[in-house]
């Protein structure tokens, strides 16, 4: 006799229980090898529970011993007071580091300059500007920095049907190609002689939790973050022999004006099939669905800096609102049917409501 496939409600009820219990532990997740249970004739609910418990209970705490303070940190993306880059720059500065914060418009870095942080002009889309910044920092550090943080970013959010493809290309220029351009230019300053113990440098790419999410109406943004996450994976493999440790920073929901600014571009065509759920589309794009979980930038930056300064920082750092939850769910996808996962995201964007409306029209 074939075993009955667990119902959707049973799957998600158990997943939610586990997430509530473990999402806020803040521990690095290191999953064991898992067998996919939802193939063939299906898995029983007890088997499913056992697999999830095996996956979610395998946490380990990294060595918390901190090395001596690095000499120089180049923190990109500190474009204006209150930005994530500014928060990181201030957190490193508070630890006693020499920080170089960059911005396209230096008039927006007054708070950093008042704190004693050196700011320099940098347009991450200009090869000439990147080279000039690299030369200036190299001259002031004798050609060596310890940490490079790629944190610049932009967004474009719409249902895929209505995406402005030119804006999407420009988004990839900021979220992917600018990271690669700056990194290539600054690599000579990060290279280390591995024969000297404790001299490993850090390359940090902020890809955000969006790199692993299938959030509706975020296709261009999430795809750009996923692309940079894969670059980070391969950079880590290629650069490790050269004394450079690459870290993927998965940032969760944070208090900022980035989300509210997204609503300025929501202008669905009058004949858009998504008009019946325009409110739901707006909520997802504006970040209203996650604002209750948002963490303040100062706490986020402090935690990230502490993570980066550990003796052996992890390949991925998950910080910010919902980051722990998303880290767990990204690891258990192998035991949750894709169809069930898709339905959860459809509910998030009101697409289940739209499907019902479309069916009623056809009836």
What does the pLDDT look like over 76-85, one tens digit per residue?
Answer: 543 333 488 9
Looking at per-residue pLDDT, the higher value among 246 and 32 belongs to: 246
Determine the average pLDDT of the residues in 313-318. 96
Quick one: average pLDDT of 24-52?
A: 41
Residue, of 256 and 135, whose pLDDT is higher: 135
pLDDT band of residue 316 (cuts 50, 70, 90) is: very high
pLDDT higher than threshold 80 for residue 304: yes
Catalytic residues: 221, 225
Least confident range from 104-108, 260-264, 317-321: namely 260-264
Residue by residue, DSSP assigns 74-127 as: EETT--STTSHHHHHHHHHHHTT-EEEEEES-GGGGHHHHHTT-EEEE--TT-H
Q: Of all helices (H) and strands (E), which one includes residue 185?
A: helix 178-190
Three-point CA angle 112, 202, 231, nearest 5°? 105
Report the range out of 64-78, 108-122, 287-301 with the highest average pLDDT. Answer: 108-122
11 pLDDT more than 80 = no
HSE toward the beta carbon, residue 167, CA cutoff 13 A = 14
Q: Domains plus CATH for the chain?
A: 8-61+332-362 (no CATH), 72-321 (3.40.50.720)
The pLDDT of residue 237: 98
Strand partners of residue 64: none
Contacts of 333 (CB under 8 A, 6+ apart): 341
Angle, helix 84-94 to helix 297-308, in steps of 10 degrees: 60
- pLDDT, residue 23, reads 41
Does residue 329 surpass a pLDDT of 90? no
Q: Are 323 and 294 in contact (CB under 8 A)?
A: no
Between 337 and 27, name the one with better pLDDT.
337
pTM higher than the cut 0.85: no
- The pLDDT value recorded for residue 297 is 93
Return the pLDDT at 168.
97
Instruction: Tell me the per-residue pLDDT of 231-267, one tens digit each, with 9 for 90 and over.
Output: 999 999 999 999 999 999 999 999 875 554 555 557 8
> Among the listed ranges 174-178, 189-193, 201-205, 294-298, which one has the minimum average pLDDT value?
189-193
> In the prediction, which pLDDT does 259 show?
52
What is the per-residue pLDDT across 285-301, written as a single tens digit (0 to 9) for each? 988 877 778 899 999 99
Q: With a cut of 90, say whether residue 42 has pLDDT above it.
A: no
pLDDT of residue 51: 55
Where residue 192 falls among pLDDT bands split at 50, 70, 90? confident
Question: How much is the average pLDDT of 306-333?
Answer: 90
Strands 98-103 and 72-75, by their bridges, are parallel
Which phi and psi (to 5°) does residue 75 adopt?
-105, 110
Place of tokens 């990230």: 304
On average, the pLDDT of the chain sits at 80
Residue 2 has pLDDT above 80, yes or no: no
Q: Measuring CA to CA, how many Å separate 344 from each of 12, 74, 216, 326?
A: 9, 40, 11, 13
What mean pLDDT comes out for the span 219-229? Answer: 97
Average pLDDT for residues 152-179, to the nearest whole number?
Answer: 95
């Amino acid at each position: 006799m074939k075993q009955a496939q667990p119902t959707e409600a049973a799957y998600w009820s158990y997943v939610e229980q586990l997430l509530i219990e473990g999402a806020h532990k803040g521990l690095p997740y290191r999953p064991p090898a898992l067998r996919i249970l939802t193939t063939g004739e299906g898995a029983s609910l007890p088997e499913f529970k056992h697999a999830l418990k095996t996956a979610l209970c395998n946490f380990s705490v990294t060595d918390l011993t901190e090395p001596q303070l690095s000499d120089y940190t180049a923190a990109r993306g500190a474009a204006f007071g209150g930005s994530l880059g500014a928060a990181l720059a201030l957190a490193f500065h508070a630890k006693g580091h020499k920080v170089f914060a960059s911005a396209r418009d230096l008039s927006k870095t007054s708070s950093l300059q008042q704190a004693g942080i050196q700011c320099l002009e940098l347009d991450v889309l200009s090869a000439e500007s990147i080279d000039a910044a690299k030369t200036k920092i190299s001259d002031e550090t004798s050609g060596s920095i310890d940490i490079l943080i790629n944190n610049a970013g932009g967004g474009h959010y719409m249902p895929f049907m209505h995406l402005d493809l030119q804006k999407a290309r420009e988004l990839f220029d900021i979220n992917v190609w600018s990271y690669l351009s700056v990194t290539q230019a600054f690599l000579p300053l990060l290279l280390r002689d591995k024969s000297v113990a404790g001299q490993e440098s850090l390359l940090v790419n902020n890809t955000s939790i969006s790199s692993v999410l299938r959030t509706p109406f975020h296709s261009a943004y999430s795809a750009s973050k996923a692309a940079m996450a894969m670059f980070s994976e391969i950079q880590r493999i290629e650069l490790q022999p050269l004394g450079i440790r690459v870290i993927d920073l998965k940032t969760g929901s944070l208090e900022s004006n980035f989300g509210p600014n997204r609503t300025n571009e929501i202008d669905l065509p009058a004949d858009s099939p998504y008009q019946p759920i325009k409110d739901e589309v707006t909520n997802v794009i504006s970040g209203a669905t996650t604002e209750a979980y948002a963490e303040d930038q100062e706490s986020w930056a402090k935690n990230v800096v502490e993570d980066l300064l550990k003796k052996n920082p992890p390949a991925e750092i998950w910080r910010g609102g919902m980051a722990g939850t998303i880290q767990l769910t990204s690891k258990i996808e192998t035991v949750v049917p894709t169809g069930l996962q898709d339905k959860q995201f459809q509910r998030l964007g009101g697409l289940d409501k739209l499907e019902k409306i479309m069916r009623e029209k056809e009836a």
